[in-house]
Chain A
Protein backbone atom coordinates (compact mmCIF):
# COMPACT_ATOMS: atom_id res chain seq x y z
CA UNK A 1 0.00 0.00 0.00
CA UNK A 2 1.20 3.45 -0.81
CA UNK A 3 0.05 5.06 2.39
CA UNK A 4 1.30 3.94 5.75
CA UNK A 5 -1.62 3.46 8.10
CA UNK A 6 -0.57 4.00 11.68
CA UNK A 7 -2.62 1.89 14.03
CA UNK A 8 -4.44 4.09 16.54
CA UNK A 9 -2.76 2.50 19.54
CA UNK A 10 0.60 3.08 18.06
CA UNK A 11 -0.16 6.62 17.05
CA UNK A 12 -1.83 7.66 20.28
CA UNK A 13 0.74 5.80 22.32
CA UNK A 14 2.78 6.89 25.28
CA UNK A 15 4.45 10.24 25.50
CA UNK A 16 7.72 8.74 26.50
CA UNK A 17 7.20 6.27 23.69
CA UNK A 18 10.79 5.74 22.80
CA UNK A 19 11.72 5.36 26.43
CA UNK A 20 9.45 2.35 26.76
CA UNK A 21 10.99 0.19 24.09
CA UNK A 22 14.43 1.51 24.88
CA UNK A 23 15.49 0.91 28.47
CA UNK A 24 18.58 3.03 27.98
CA UNK A 25 16.47 6.20 28.03
CA UNK A 26 14.82 7.39 31.21
CA UNK A 27 11.41 8.97 31.34
CA UNK A 28 11.56 12.74 30.96
CA UNK A 29 10.05 14.76 33.80
CA UNK A 30 7.30 16.08 31.53
CA UNK A 31 6.07 12.52 30.92
CA UNK A 32 6.11 11.44 34.55
CA UNK A 33 2.66 10.68 35.88
CA UNK A 34 2.05 11.97 39.40
CA UNK A 35 -0.72 10.77 41.73
CA UNK A 36 -2.56 13.94 40.76
CA UNK A 37 -2.51 12.79 37.11
CA UNK A 38 -4.22 9.58 38.10
CA UNK A 39 -6.67 11.37 40.37
CA UNK A 40 -7.78 13.73 37.61
CA UNK A 41 -8.02 10.96 35.02
CA UNK A 42 -10.01 8.77 37.38
CA UNK A 43 -12.47 11.53 38.31
CA UNK A 44 -12.93 12.66 34.70
CA UNK A 45 -13.35 9.11 33.40
CA UNK A 46 -15.91 8.42 36.13
CA UNK A 47 -17.83 11.61 35.36
CA UNK A 48 -17.77 10.84 31.66
CA UNK A 49 -19.05 7.37 32.36
CA UNK A 50 -21.94 8.34 34.67
CA UNK A 51 -24.39 8.97 31.80
CA UNK A 52 -23.70 5.47 30.47
CA UNK A 53 -24.32 3.91 33.88
CA UNK A 54 -27.55 5.88 34.16
CA UNK A 55 -28.59 4.85 30.68
CA UNK A 56 -28.13 1.20 31.61
CA UNK A 57 -29.67 1.36 35.08
CA UNK A 58 -32.74 3.25 33.84
CA UNK A 59 -33.15 0.85 30.93
CA UNK A 60 -33.42 -1.94 33.51
CA UNK A 61 -35.89 -0.15 35.80
CA UNK A 62 -39.46 -1.37 36.20
CA UNK A 63 -42.43 0.56 34.85
CA UNK A 64 -43.40 1.64 38.39
CA UNK A 65 -39.97 3.09 39.09
CA UNK A 66 -40.11 4.82 35.73
CA UNK A 67 -43.55 6.28 36.41
CA UNK A 68 -42.39 7.66 39.77
CA UNK A 69 -39.10 8.89 38.31
CA UNK A 70 -37.38 7.15 41.22
CA UNK A 71 -34.22 6.06 39.44
CA UNK A 72 -30.99 5.10 41.09
CA UNK A 73 -27.56 5.71 39.62
CA UNK A 74 -26.52 2.08 39.97
CA UNK A 75 -29.09 -0.47 38.81
CA UNK A 76 -31.15 -2.01 41.61
CA UNK A 77 -33.72 -3.66 39.36
CA UNK A 78 -33.09 -5.84 36.37
CA UNK A 79 -36.12 -5.78 34.10
CA UNK A 80 -34.51 -7.43 31.10
CA UNK A 81 -37.97 -7.74 29.59
CA UNK A 82 -37.72 -4.01 28.79
CA UNK A 83 -35.51 -4.96 25.89
CA UNK A 84 -38.41 -6.79 24.26
CA UNK A 85 -41.09 -4.50 25.67
CA UNK A 86 -39.61 -1.57 23.77
CA UNK A 87 -40.78 -3.23 20.55
CA UNK A 88 -44.27 -4.06 21.76
CA UNK A 89 -45.36 -1.89 24.68
CA UNK A 90 -44.84 1.65 23.43
CA UNK A 91 -47.66 1.66 20.88
CA UNK A 92 -45.08 2.74 18.30
CA UNK A 93 -43.52 0.60 15.53
CA UNK A 94 -40.06 0.57 17.13
CA UNK A 95 -38.93 -2.45 15.12
CA UNK A 96 -39.83 -0.52 12.01
CA UNK A 97 -37.85 2.49 13.31
CA UNK A 98 -34.74 0.33 13.50
CA UNK A 99 -35.28 -1.09 10.01
CA UNK A 100 -35.79 2.39 8.61
CA UNK A 101 -32.54 3.55 10.21
CA UNK A 102 -30.66 0.60 8.75
CA UNK A 103 -32.13 1.20 5.31
CA UNK A 104 -31.43 4.93 5.23
CA UNK A 105 -27.92 4.61 6.66
CA UNK A 106 -26.88 1.74 4.36
CA UNK A 107 -28.14 3.30 1.14
CA UNK A 108 -26.61 6.66 2.07
CA UNK A 109 -23.24 5.01 2.63
CA UNK A 110 -23.46 3.13 -0.69
CA UNK A 111 -24.22 6.41 -2.44
CA UNK A 112 -21.32 8.27 -0.87
CA UNK A 113 -18.82 5.49 -1.52
CA UNK A 114 -19.78 5.11 -5.18
CA UNK A 115 -19.91 8.78 -6.03
CA UNK A 116 -16.96 10.03 -3.99
CA UNK A 117 -14.65 7.33 -5.38
CA UNK A 118 -15.50 8.28 -8.98
CA UNK A 119 -15.21 12.00 -8.45
CA UNK A 120 -12.15 11.83 -6.20
CA UNK A 121 -10.34 9.60 -8.71
CA UNK A 122 -10.99 12.07 -11.51
CA UNK A 123 -9.69 14.99 -9.46
CA UNK A 124 -6.56 13.08 -8.53
CA UNK A 125 -5.68 11.52 -11.87
CA UNK A 126 -7.37 12.90 -14.95
CA UNK A 127 -6.27 16.11 -16.64
CA UNK A 128 -8.71 18.56 -18.12
CA UNK A 129 -8.93 22.29 -18.69
CA UNK A 130 -11.02 23.87 -15.94
CA UNK A 131 -10.13 21.23 -13.40
CA UNK A 132 -8.34 23.68 -11.11
CA UNK A 133 -11.35 25.96 -10.99
CA UNK A 134 -13.64 23.00 -10.31
CA UNK A 135 -11.50 21.91 -7.39
CA UNK A 136 -11.52 25.39 -5.90
CA UNK A 137 -15.32 25.27 -6.13
CA UNK A 138 -15.30 21.90 -4.34
CA UNK A 139 -13.26 23.40 -1.52
CA UNK A 140 -15.38 26.54 -1.40
CA UNK A 141 -18.62 24.59 -1.05
CA UNK A 142 -17.35 23.15 2.22
CA UNK A 143 -17.91 26.56 3.75
CA UNK A 144 -21.60 26.80 2.90
CA UNK A 145 -23.68 25.84 5.93
CA UNK A 146 -26.45 23.34 5.20
CA UNK A 147 -29.04 25.77 6.54
CA UNK A 148 -28.68 27.96 3.44
CA UNK A 149 -29.90 25.24 1.12
CA UNK A 150 -32.29 23.57 3.57
CA UNK A 151 -35.41 25.55 2.66
CA UNK A 152 -35.05 25.52 -1.16
CA UNK A 153 -34.16 21.83 -1.01
CA UNK A 154 -37.28 21.16 1.01
CA UNK A 155 -39.40 23.06 -1.49
CA UNK A 156 -37.74 21.19 -4.36
CA UNK A 157 -38.34 17.78 -2.80
CA UNK A 158 -41.89 18.78 -1.95
CA UNK A 159 -42.43 19.70 -5.62
CA UNK A 160 -41.07 16.27 -6.60
CA UNK A 161 -43.49 14.59 -4.18
CA UNK A 162 -40.63 13.19 -2.09
CA UNK A 163 -41.86 14.44 1.28
CA UNK A 164 -42.54 11.55 3.66
CA UNK A 165 -40.31 9.23 1.64
CA UNK A 166 -36.68 8.33 2.30
CA UNK A 167 -35.56 9.82 -1.00
CA UNK A 168 -34.60 13.31 0.33
CA UNK A 169 -32.39 11.63 2.92
CA UNK A 170 -30.79 9.10 0.55
CA UNK A 171 -30.61 10.50 -2.97
CA UNK A 172 -28.31 13.52 -2.29
CA UNK A 173 -25.67 11.03 -1.08
CA UNK A 174 -25.40 9.66 -4.62
CA UNK A 175 -24.10 13.08 -5.65
CA UNK A 176 -21.30 12.98 -3.04
CA UNK A 177 -20.13 15.88 -0.92
CA UNK A 178 -17.11 18.13 -1.03
CA UNK A 179 -15.41 16.74 2.04
CA UNK A 180 -15.47 13.16 0.77
CA UNK A 181 -14.28 14.19 -2.69
CA UNK A 182 -11.41 15.97 -1.01
CA UNK A 183 -10.52 12.94 1.11
CA UNK A 184 -10.51 10.52 -1.84
CA UNK A 185 -8.59 12.94 -4.03
CA UNK A 186 -5.90 13.35 -1.35
CA UNK A 187 -5.71 9.61 -0.86
CA UNK A 188 -5.43 8.75 -4.56
CA UNK A 189 -2.86 11.51 -5.15
CA UNK A 190 -0.51 9.66 -2.84
CA UNK A 191 -0.82 6.37 -4.73
CA UNK A 192 2.04 6.00 -7.18
CA UNK A 193 1.01 6.54 -10.78
CA UNK A 194 3.27 3.85 -12.21
CA UNK A 195 0.68 1.14 -11.97
CA UNK A 196 -2.01 2.99 -13.90
CA UNK A 197 0.60 4.12 -16.45
CA UNK A 198 1.46 0.48 -17.05
CA UNK A 199 -2.17 -0.54 -17.19
CA UNK A 200 -2.87 2.17 -19.73
CA UNK A 201 0.00 0.92 -21.87
CA UNK A 202 -1.70 -2.44 -21.78
CA UNK A 203 -4.78 -0.81 -23.22
CA UNK A 204 -6.92 -0.28 -20.16
CA UNK A 205 -9.17 2.78 -20.50
CA UNK A 206 -9.79 5.43 -17.86
CA UNK A 207 -12.73 3.58 -16.41
CA UNK A 208 -10.73 0.37 -16.46
CA UNK A 209 -7.90 2.00 -14.52
CA UNK A 210 -10.42 3.29 -11.99
CA UNK A 211 -12.25 -0.01 -11.68
CA UNK A 212 -9.32 -2.43 -11.78
CA UNK A 213 -6.36 -0.50 -10.40
CA UNK A 214 -7.39 2.42 -8.22
CA UNK A 215 -10.67 1.23 -6.70
CA UNK A 216 -9.10 -1.86 -5.08
CA UNK A 217 -6.46 0.37 -3.51
CA UNK A 218 -8.96 2.94 -2.29
CA UNK A 219 -10.75 0.75 0.20
CA UNK A 220 -9.18 2.18 3.36
CA UNK A 221 -10.48 5.65 2.61
CA UNK A 222 -13.79 4.31 1.27
CA UNK A 223 -14.29 2.32 4.47
CA UNK A 224 -13.69 5.49 6.42
CA UNK A 225 -16.21 7.36 4.27
CA UNK A 226 -18.74 4.54 4.67
CA UNK A 227 -18.35 4.62 8.46
CA UNK A 228 -18.61 8.38 8.51
CA UNK A 229 -21.77 8.37 6.39
CA UNK A 230 -23.35 5.50 8.34
CA UNK A 231 -22.70 7.32 11.60
CA UNK A 232 -24.11 10.56 10.30
CA UNK A 233 -27.20 9.07 8.67
CA UNK A 234 -27.91 6.80 11.64
CA UNK A 235 -27.82 9.66 14.11
CA UNK A 236 -29.31 12.37 11.88
CA UNK A 237 -32.24 14.07 13.51
CA UNK A 238 -32.95 17.24 11.59
CA UNK A 239 -33.32 15.63 8.15
CA UNK A 240 -35.93 13.08 9.24
CA UNK A 241 -37.64 15.76 11.34
CA UNK A 242 -38.11 17.90 8.24
CA UNK A 243 -39.05 15.19 5.76
CA UNK A 244 -40.73 12.35 7.60
CA UNK A 245 -44.00 12.72 9.45
CA UNK A 246 -45.64 9.30 9.49
CA UNK A 247 -44.75 6.89 12.30
CA UNK A 248 -44.11 4.07 9.82
CA UNK A 249 -41.36 5.96 8.01
CA UNK A 250 -39.39 7.32 10.99
CA UNK A 251 -35.84 6.23 11.74
CA UNK A 252 -34.96 5.41 15.33
CA UNK A 253 -33.33 8.77 16.13
CA UNK A 254 -36.57 10.57 15.33
CA UNK A 255 -38.75 7.79 16.71
CA UNK A 256 -37.14 8.13 20.13
CA UNK A 257 -37.99 11.80 20.29
CA UNK A 258 -41.51 10.87 19.22
CA UNK A 259 -41.66 8.35 22.04
CA UNK A 260 -40.92 11.02 24.64
CA UNK A 261 -43.38 13.50 23.20
CA UNK A 262 -46.47 11.36 22.68
CA UNK A 263 -47.37 11.41 26.34
CA UNK A 264 -49.21 14.55 27.47
CA UNK A 265 -47.50 17.21 29.54
CA UNK A 266 -48.58 15.80 32.91
CA UNK A 267 -47.52 12.27 32.13
CA UNK A 268 -43.87 11.24 32.23
CA UNK A 269 -42.41 9.56 29.16
CA UNK A 270 -41.65 5.83 29.61
CA UNK A 271 -38.04 6.65 30.48
CA UNK A 272 -37.01 3.02 30.97
CA UNK A 273 -38.07 2.15 27.42
CA UNK A 274 -36.67 5.39 26.01
CA UNK A 275 -33.30 4.44 27.51
CA UNK A 276 -33.55 0.96 25.96
CA UNK A 277 -34.13 2.74 22.65
CA UNK A 278 -31.13 4.99 23.30
CA UNK A 279 -28.99 1.92 23.91
CA UNK A 280 -30.21 0.35 20.67
CA UNK A 281 -29.33 3.62 18.94
CA UNK A 282 -25.87 3.75 20.54
CA UNK A 283 -24.56 0.17 20.37
CA UNK A 284 -24.19 -0.11 16.58
CA UNK A 285 -22.18 3.11 16.56
CA UNK A 286 -19.76 1.80 19.17
CA UNK A 287 -19.48 -1.51 17.28
CA UNK A 288 -18.83 0.21 13.95
CA UNK A 289 -16.24 2.46 15.53
CA UNK A 290 -14.29 -0.40 17.01
CA UNK A 291 -14.43 -2.41 13.79
CA UNK A 292 -13.30 0.47 11.65
CA UNK A 293 -11.14 2.38 14.09
CA UNK A 294 -7.99 2.42 12.06
CA UNK A 295 -9.66 3.69 8.90
CA UNK A 296 -11.40 6.41 10.84
CA UNK A 297 -8.12 7.36 12.37
CA UNK A 298 -6.56 7.68 8.98
CA UNK A 299 -9.32 9.94 7.82
CA UNK A 300 -8.97 12.10 10.90
CA UNK A 301 -5.33 12.48 10.15
CA UNK A 302 -5.87 13.39 6.52
CA UNK A 303 -8.87 15.57 7.13
CA UNK A 304 -7.27 17.08 10.18
CA UNK A 305 -3.92 18.05 8.82
CA UNK A 306 -5.29 18.94 5.43
CA UNK A 307 -7.95 21.09 6.99
CA UNK A 308 -5.50 23.23 8.88
CA UNK A 309 -2.70 23.93 6.53
Chain B
Protein backbone atom coordinates (compact mmCIF):
# COMPACT_ATOMS: atom_id res chain seq x y z
CA UNK B 1 0.00 0.00 0.00
CA UNK B 2 1.32 3.40 -0.89
CA UNK B 3 1.76 6.17 1.64
CA UNK B 4 1.46 9.92 1.99
CA UNK B 5 3.66 11.55 4.65
CA UNK B 6 2.41 14.66 6.42
CA UNK B 7 4.83 16.98 8.22
CA UNK B 8 2.46 18.36 10.82
CA UNK B 9 2.73 21.55 12.90
CA UNK B 10 0.01 22.52 15.39
CA UNK B 11 -1.28 25.71 13.79
CA UNK B 12 -3.59 26.89 11.02
CA UNK B 13 -0.99 26.13 8.38
CA UNK B 14 -0.53 22.61 9.71
CA UNK B 15 -4.28 22.02 9.71
CA UNK B 16 -4.50 23.22 6.11
CA UNK B 17 -1.69 20.84 5.20
CA UNK B 18 -3.48 18.05 7.06
CA UNK B 19 -6.64 18.70 5.07
CA UNK B 20 -4.73 18.55 1.80
CA UNK B 21 -2.93 15.40 2.91
CA UNK B 22 -6.23 13.69 3.74
CA UNK B 23 -7.55 14.53 0.27
CA UNK B 24 -4.41 13.19 -1.38
CA UNK B 25 -4.41 10.02 0.68
CA UNK B 26 -8.05 9.37 -0.09
CA UNK B 27 -7.55 9.88 -3.84
CA UNK B 28 -4.55 7.60 -3.90
CA UNK B 29 -6.01 5.10 -1.50
CA UNK B 30 -2.86 5.52 0.52
CA UNK B 31 -2.00 5.36 4.23
CA UNK B 32 -1.44 8.78 5.82
CA UNK B 33 1.75 8.94 7.91
CA UNK B 34 1.66 11.91 10.28
CA UNK B 35 5.07 13.07 11.52
CA UNK B 36 5.47 15.56 14.35
CA UNK B 37 8.66 15.40 16.36
CA UNK B 38 10.74 17.74 18.46
CA UNK B 39 14.39 17.72 19.31
CA UNK B 40 13.30 18.85 22.77
CA UNK B 41 16.21 21.23 22.91
CA UNK B 42 14.26 24.28 23.99
CA UNK B 43 11.78 25.19 26.67
CA UNK B 44 9.07 26.16 24.21
CA UNK B 45 8.76 24.55 20.80
CA UNK B 46 5.71 25.95 19.02
CA UNK B 47 6.02 23.47 16.15
CA UNK B 48 5.65 20.53 18.49
CA UNK B 49 2.10 19.32 19.04
CA UNK B 50 1.21 18.43 22.61
CA UNK B 51 -1.07 15.53 23.46
CA UNK B 52 -4.20 17.68 23.19
CA UNK B 53 -3.23 18.89 19.71
CA UNK B 54 -2.46 15.34 18.69
CA UNK B 55 -5.72 13.82 19.90
CA UNK B 56 -7.61 16.61 18.15
CA UNK B 57 -5.80 15.82 14.92
CA UNK B 58 -6.45 12.12 15.34
CA UNK B 59 -10.15 12.78 15.84
CA UNK B 60 -10.28 14.71 12.57
CA UNK B 61 -8.38 11.98 10.78
CA UNK B 62 -10.61 9.28 12.18
CA UNK B 63 -13.75 11.03 10.95
CA UNK B 64 -12.15 11.44 7.54
CA UNK B 65 -11.99 7.69 7.24
CA UNK B 66 -8.42 7.62 5.94
CA UNK B 67 -6.07 4.93 7.16
CA UNK B 68 -3.31 6.64 9.20
CA UNK B 69 -0.35 6.17 11.53
CA UNK B 70 1.34 8.76 13.73
CA UNK B 71 5.00 9.40 14.57
CA UNK B 72 4.95 11.72 17.52
CA UNK B 73 7.52 12.39 20.22
CA UNK B 74 11.05 13.52 20.89
CA UNK B 75 13.75 12.69 18.41
CA UNK B 76 17.48 13.14 18.10
CA UNK B 77 17.14 14.34 14.51
CA UNK B 78 15.72 17.52 13.06
CA UNK B 79 12.10 17.67 11.96
CA UNK B 80 13.12 17.64 8.29
CA UNK B 81 15.23 14.51 8.78
CA UNK B 82 12.37 12.77 10.55
CA UNK B 83 9.92 13.56 7.75
CA UNK B 84 12.35 12.39 5.07
CA UNK B 85 13.20 9.28 7.02
CA UNK B 86 9.50 8.42 7.38
CA UNK B 87 9.01 8.95 3.63
CA UNK B 88 11.79 6.49 2.85
CA UNK B 89 10.63 3.94 5.41
CA UNK B 90 7.03 3.94 4.15
CA UNK B 91 8.12 4.27 0.49
CA UNK B 92 5.90 7.32 0.30
CA UNK B 93 4.74 8.61 -3.04
CA UNK B 94 4.02 12.08 -1.67
CA UNK B 95 5.12 14.34 1.19
CA UNK B 96 2.72 17.11 2.27
CA UNK B 97 4.02 20.12 4.20
CA UNK B 98 2.86 23.60 5.04
CA UNK B 99 4.86 26.45 3.58
CA UNK B 100 4.97 30.00 4.81
CA UNK B 101 6.88 33.05 3.81
CA UNK B 102 10.13 33.75 5.61
CA UNK B 103 12.43 36.71 5.30
CA UNK B 104 15.87 35.87 3.90
CA UNK B 105 17.47 36.75 7.23
CA UNK B 106 15.03 34.58 9.12
CA UNK B 107 15.79 31.73 6.78
CA UNK B 108 19.50 32.22 7.22
CA UNK B 109 19.31 32.11 10.97
CA UNK B 110 16.55 29.60 11.54
CA UNK B 111 17.11 27.52 8.45
CA UNK B 112 14.10 26.14 6.70
CA UNK B 113 12.59 22.79 7.45
CA UNK B 114 10.51 23.09 4.28
CA UNK B 115 13.57 23.75 2.15
CA UNK B 116 15.44 20.76 3.54
CA UNK B 117 12.45 18.54 2.80
CA UNK B 118 11.99 19.91 -0.72
CA UNK B 119 15.64 19.35 -1.56
CA UNK B 120 16.05 16.05 0.26
CA UNK B 121 12.89 14.27 -0.82
CA UNK B 122 13.02 11.39 -3.32
CA UNK B 123 9.30 11.70 -4.06
CA UNK B 124 6.96 14.56 -4.92
CA UNK B 125 6.36 17.21 -2.31
CA UNK B 126 3.09 19.11 -1.99
CA UNK B 127 3.67 22.49 -0.35
CA UNK B 128 0.42 23.86 1.04
CA UNK B 129 0.08 27.61 1.37
CA UNK B 130 -2.34 28.81 3.99
Does A pair with B? no
Chain A residues with a Cβ under 8 A of chain B: none
